[in-house]
Amino acid sequence: MVADGNPRQVFNAPVSQEHAGRFGYENIFDGVVAETHPDLGTMTCRVAGSNLVLESPLANKAAGEATTLALRAGDILIATTRPSGISARNILSCRIDSIKDRAGIVELQALCGTVMFCVHITRGALKSLGLERDQSAWIIIKTHSIQFLRT
């Protein structure tokens, strides 16, 4: 048995990279737990090979432990100015590396330092934000959008 639960539970908490890819998790990163914050219900994880730190939900992991993070492209917001006064804890400066129209979904590749994120938006959002390749922007990731893979 690879996973246990009802379909929604299984799709929303993939256990392996293979399952994460099948269930629509376009962003998969190796990382290490930097710190745990039990009083806040969160922990911070550093993406391997980078200085990028993401706040994630508290999991049964210790500081220094290796982990794999998974994030759906549709769970990432993009903004042309740095947002303030919002509950999302991960607000990252990025540069838009590419923009591709994929049959109604616009796929952006956003480079944050040395880490590339895949972001899905609508054509309407692309048009209203006036996004272009090489433009600076901000990506916003809710803490609880980050999942941990077990294998």
pLDDT digits (tens, 9 = 90+) for 33-73: 999 999 999 999 999 999 999 999 999 999 999 999 999 99
Distance (Å, rounded) from C-alpha 81 to C-alpha 138?
7
CATH for the stretch 7-149: 2.40.50.100
Tokens encoding 37? 């914050």
Distance (Å, rounded) from C-alpha 66 to C-alpha 123?
37
The residue-averaged pLDDT of 122-143 equals 97
**Domain-by-domain residue ranges, the chain?**
7-149
pTM: 0.85
Distance (Å, rounded) from C-alpha 115 to C-alpha 48?
9
